[in-house]
Structures are given as C-alpha cells and as structure tokens.
Amino acid sequence: MYNFGQIKETYNKIYLESFTKKDSKKKKVFEYYINKLKKSPILKEEFECYTSLKNTNFSNELDSLIFIEENINIIKRFNQKELSSLHKDLVDHLVKNKYKVVESTDEKIVLFESLLNTEKNSKNLSKITESITKLRNALVKEVSEEKDVNESVSLPTNVLSNLLTNKFNSKYGDLDETTKNLIKVSLKGSEKEKTELFDSTLKECIELVNVKLKESISDLELKEKLLQTKERLLEMSFNEEKYIEDLTKLVDLKTNL
C-alpha cells in the first residue's frame, strides 16, 4: 500500500506540471484528487494532518511530542480498510493516467509514516524511538515571538475583534483604504456580508497565487510552497466561529503576495 505522503506529493507534482506545461489533462487528474478530498471526511482529515505536520514547528520538545502523538492517534482511529481503499482509488487513478507514484521527499512526512507503519513491539522499540527523536527535532526550531492572538488564547469574539483591530492598526498601518475598510466591515457586518466578503477575499487570494505560479516557472521550491498554499485555500470555506481568524490569514496572505 502506498502512503498518503507519496500520493499527495505525486498529485502536487502533476499540478505543478499542469501549470509549467499548460496541460489541461494533468489539471483534470489533479481535480479528481481534490474532489475526492472534498467528498471523503477521512481523506480530508488525513490531508489536514499531513499539511499541519509539514507546516508546523514548535519552540519546545514537549509540545512537539504531543503533536506527534495526537496526529498518529488521528490516523490510527480511521477504519484502516476504508483508508486503504481510498488510497488505492487515488493510486489507481494515477496508474490509469500513466503516472507513477513518487517517493515523499519531506523529512517530517517520511519519519511520520515510518511511525505509522512500524508495529509497536520490543523488537522495533529502538527504531520507533529513533524516528520519534528525529521527528521531534525536525519540528522544534526557534519561532517568532509574535504570535497570532487567536493561537495563544481563547477569547470571546467581541474582545478578539478589538484586539485584532489594534493588531491591524499597528501591523497594517500602511494598507490602502480599500483594505482597511474591508477589515472594518468584516468585524461589524451581517452574516451575509461576512460570507460574501470571505468568499471574494478567498477568490482573490487564489487568483493571486495562480499568477505567482505562472510567474515562477523555473523556481521549483517556490512553486511547491505556492501549491501548498493553494491546497489550503481550496480547502477553506466560511466558518462563523473561525471567521476572524481565517479572514486575518487571508488578508495577511493577500498583502504579502
């Protein structure tokens, strides 16, 4: 059975090639993968685990170890026969379109899948310990002292709104008036206005990422990061509870693209 890390990386590679070679067939192959992620709660959660694993770092070892354990528990609680069947379907679609599954090149993903696939017994204890240590070290690195308010403490929406307003005033003081008004409306608008604002901002971000992808034909490392960003954007949808957090990230992305 192929690991999800290999499957994910293969489809990402195909999507990258669909842009560099302007190949509509490759794009359709990738769209099949995206549709499967959207329709299957298991695949979607697995995808989120892998994306989080790849993009998350910690400032201390204890947090990283908890993070590793929880991600393993999430994958292990899935119906493994169903998960295997879903993986097989994605691989069969690749084979049908004459693609070979590539090896995962991300160190954290490789180590994580080694832990998933290694049976827990006394014989494998050293191997498991080594993998955990290496993955922990890969996850732990110095992080910026500045943290998003919503990541460090849970607060009521009205309090969070005031804090975010102050944050935006200091961090985005040089933004144009259109963007400033966008932020103000987002904090006080109706649910319909918020939904429309979120959807339009999300669409803008995806379009900007697409432009950057077309401009970065020769920079494969940049393209990989842009593809990861686009994957996350495609998975986003309006959520009242996470609205301020998500819109903050979208505005931040839009500002930096």
Rounded to an integer, the average pLDDT of 85-92 is: 96
- 158-193 pLDDT per residue, tens: 444 544 455 445 444 444 555 555 655 555 667 787
In a domain, 191, yes or no: yes
**Are 21 and 111 within one domain?**
yes
**Are 51 and 121 within one domain?**
yes
pLDDT for position 187: 57
Provide the token pair at 45. 């959660």
**Are 196 and 95 within one domain?**
no
Segments forming the whole domain that contains residue 239: 149-256
Mean pLDDT of the chain: 80
Top pLDDT among 230 and 175 is at 230
**Are 125 and 40 within one domain?**
yes
**Are 96 and 175 within one domain?**
no
Rounded to whole angstroms, the Cα distance separating 120 from 254 reads: 45
In a domain, 157, yes or no: yes
Provide the token pair at 42. 């298991």
Top pLDDT among 146 and 169 is at 169
Count of structural domains within the chain: 2
Angle between helical axes of 80-96 and 41-55 (0-180°, round to 10): 80
**Are 15 and 120 within one domain?**
yes
Tokens 């400032």: give the residue.
59
**Are 90 and 192 within one domain?**
no
**Are 119 and 197 within one domain?**
no
How many CB atoms are closer than 10 A to CB 199?
13
In a domain, 127, yes or no: yes
pLDDT for position 133: 93
pLDDT for position 177: 55
- Structural domain ending residue among the three candidates 107, 139, 171: 139
pTM over 0.75: no
pLDDT for position 102: 92
**Are 160 and 128 within one domain?**
no
- Structural domain ending residue among the three candidates 139, 157, 191: 139
- Structural domain ending residue among the three candidates 82, 107, 139: 139
- 199-222 pLDDT per residue, tens: 888 898 998 888 888 887 667 777
In a domain, 144, yes or no: no
**Are 165 and 252 within one domain?**
yes
